[in-house]
Structure 1
Amino acid sequence: MASRVSLKTKGKSSSGKGAKGMEEKSASQYFKEWSTWSFKKAKVITHYGFIPMIIIIGMNSEPKPQIHQLLSPF
Structure 2
Amino acid sequence: MSSKIMLKPKGKNTKKAEAADEDDGAVAAVGKFVKEWGTWSAKKAKVITHYGFIPLVIIIGMNSEPKPSLSQLLSPV
TM class by shorter-chain length?
A: 0.5 to 0.7
- 1:66 and 2:69 aligned: yes
Which stretches in structure 1 are left out of the alignment for 5+ residues? 1-23
* Secondary structure at 1:52 match in 2: helix
Give the letter aligned to residue 31 of structure 2: S
Identical aligned residues as a percent: 69
Which stretches in structure 2 are left out of the alignment for 5+ residues? 1-25
What is the CA–CA distance in structure 1 between the aligned matches of 2:66 and 2:74, rounded to whole Å? 16
Give the letter aligned to residue 62 of structure 2: M
**1:37-56 mapped onto 2 (5 Å cutoff):** 37-56=40-59
What is the CA–CA distance in structure 1 between the aligned matches of 2:46 and 2:32, rounded to whole Å? 21
The count of aligned residue pairs is 52
What is the CA–CA distance in structure 2 between the aligned matches of 1:59 and 1:28, rounded to whole Å? 45
RMSD after superposition: 1.6
TM (normalized to structure 1)? 0.65
Give the letter aligned to residue 61 of structure 1: S
- 1:35 and 2:38 aligned: yes
Deviation at 1:26, TM superposition (A): 1.7
> Greater helix share, 1 or 2?
2
Deviation at 1:72, TM superposition (A): 0.6
